[in-house]
Amino acid sequence: MIGPRSFAHDGVFWRRMAALGAQKFPRWWLRYTPPFFGVAAAVVLPQARRAVRRNLERIRGPQPLWRDVVDTSSTFASYAGCLAESLSKGSKNDAPVDVVVHGAENVRAAVSKNRGVLLLTMHTGGWDVAGPLFAAHSKLDVMLVMEGERDEAARAVSDRVRESQGVRVMHVGGDPLAALPLVRHLTERKGAAALQLDRVPASGRAVHVELLGRPAKLPEGPFRLAQLTGAPLLPVFCARRGFRRYLLEALPPQELVRRATPAQLQKVAQSVADEMTTFLREHPTQWFQFDRD
């Protein structure tokens, strides 16, 4: 059913329009128009624009106004390109992506433990490239774990595309029993689960860290899952480098023993936060945080 919520910036109407353009329009449309729509979104969404500018300042420090405008526009344009390329999967406009992988040996090290893998990602350029690529190279069953979107119909548009690439999607909320299928996925199927670290669900617990030189929070769930299941934590961060061109960086895997102390858990979380900081400072216009500081 179409209602007022459907026409919000993250509503089903605009998601379907984006999918229509990515899947049905000529290929040149897919390549050249997303930056225009991204910059237009920056103009008409002042709250999101301010959030991006604040995050850019956190990453690279204060800059002249012209630099803020350029980097903010670049962030929105990159997001629009990622969304269009993702939604084009399985359509006449689909094509292979060029992915440069740094740290392939870290992926192999995590998979070789045969205890499942917890992929730690962020909302950066091409973050949903990591799941299908990992599935193809590791031969593991990958489940993408996400906080539910406000518009379920909009979420379904993107989920259908992700699942067509062999990645199952699990949306988490406030039900503590919802994690049980994920535990079985890791322990029984020895699968992989991709979880995003840069947003703490409203109903979730957090671990306190320093990120980009400031106090911050990471969701506690991924670290507790590693402690419970024995699955290694594998940070995998992505950046968009151009049309259908991506960088995927896999960092050394880390582990938490079942009897890990709070101090040990916090130490691992801070180590991951330090890696997030390094990646974001190398790719400042790739962090897609539009709603929150």
Q: Are 134 and 163 contained in the same domain?
A: yes
Q: How far is CA 209 from the centre of its chain?
A: 19
How far from 101 is each of 12, 216, 226, 246, 279, CA to CA, in Å? 33, 28, 24, 9, 14
Place of tokens 């906080």: 147
Helix (H) or strand (E) holding 100: strand 98-102
Q: Tell me how crowded residue 126 is: count the other CB atoms within 10 A of its CB.
A: 25
Q: Which residue has the higher pLDDT, 35 or 90?
A: 35
Residue 187 lies in a domain: yes
Question: What pLDDT is attached to residue 1?
Answer: 45
3-state secondary structure of 233: strand
Q: Are 25 and 170 contained in the same domain?
A: no
Question: What pLDDT is attached to residue 233?
Answer: 97
Q: How far is CA 288 from the centre of its chain?
A: 9
Q: What is the mean pLDDT of the chain?
A: 87
Assess whether pLDDT exceeds 60 at residue 293.
no
Please state, in angstroms and rounded to a whole number, the distance separating the CA atoms of residues 235 and 251. 5
Which residues are registered as beta bridge partners of 192?
Answer: 117, 142
Question: What pLDDT is attached to residue 181?
Answer: 84
Q: Are 66 and 157 contained in the same domain?
A: no
92: phi then psi, degrees, rounded to nearest 5: -65, -20
Burial of 138 by CB count in 10 Å (0-12 exposed, 13-18 middle, 19+ buried)?
middle
Give yes or no for a contact between 158 and 15, defined as CB atoms under 8 angstroms apart. yes
Residue 142 lies in a domain: yes
Assess whether pLDDT exceeds 50 at residue 7.
no
Ramachandran bin of 139, using left for φ above 0, alpha for ψ from -120 to 50, beta for the remaining angles: left
Domain boundary among 60, 87, 114: 87
Q: Which of 158, 140, 138 is nearest to 148 (CA)?
A: 158
Instruction: Please compute the mean of the pLDDT values over residues 224-236 and round it to a whole number.
Output: 95
Give the pLDDT confidence of 141-198 residue by residue, as tens digits.
Answer: 888 887 766 656 666 666 676 777 666 777 766 555 567 888 898 999 899 999 999 9
Q: Print the domain residue range for 26.
A: 4-87
Q: Are 249 and 123 contained in the same domain?
A: yes
Residue 159 lies in a domain: yes
Domain boundary among 63, 87, 111: 87
Residue 93 lies in a domain: no
What confidence tier does 13 reach under pLDDT thresholds 50, 70, 90? confident
Q: Are 272 and 166 contained in the same domain?
A: yes
Distance, first Cα to last Cα, the chain: 32
Assess whether pLDDT exceeds 70 at residue 6.
no
Q: Are 80 and 145 contained in the same domain?
A: no
Burial of 231 by CB count in 10 Å (0-12 exposed, 13-18 middle, 19+ buried)?
buried
Question: What pLDDT is attached to residue 62?
Answer: 93
Number of domains comprising the chain:
2
How far from 285 is each of 51, 75, 79, CA to CA, in Å? 13, 5, 9
Question: What pLDDT is attached to residue 8?
Answer: 55
Residue 212 lies in a domain: yes
Q: Are 134 and 65 contained in the same domain?
A: no
Total number of residues shown for the chain: 293
Q: Are 108 and 183 contained in the same domain?
A: yes
Q: Are 46 and 102 contained in the same domain?
A: no
Assess whether pLDDT exceeds 90 at residue 67.
yes
Q: Are 250 and 134 contained in the same domain?
A: yes
Q: Are 201 and 172 contained in the same domain?
A: yes
Instruction: Count H helices and E strands in the chain, helices first.
Output: 11, 9
**Assigned token pair, 234:** 């594998």
Residue 33 lies in a domain: yes
Q: Are 35 and 166 contained in the same domain?
A: no
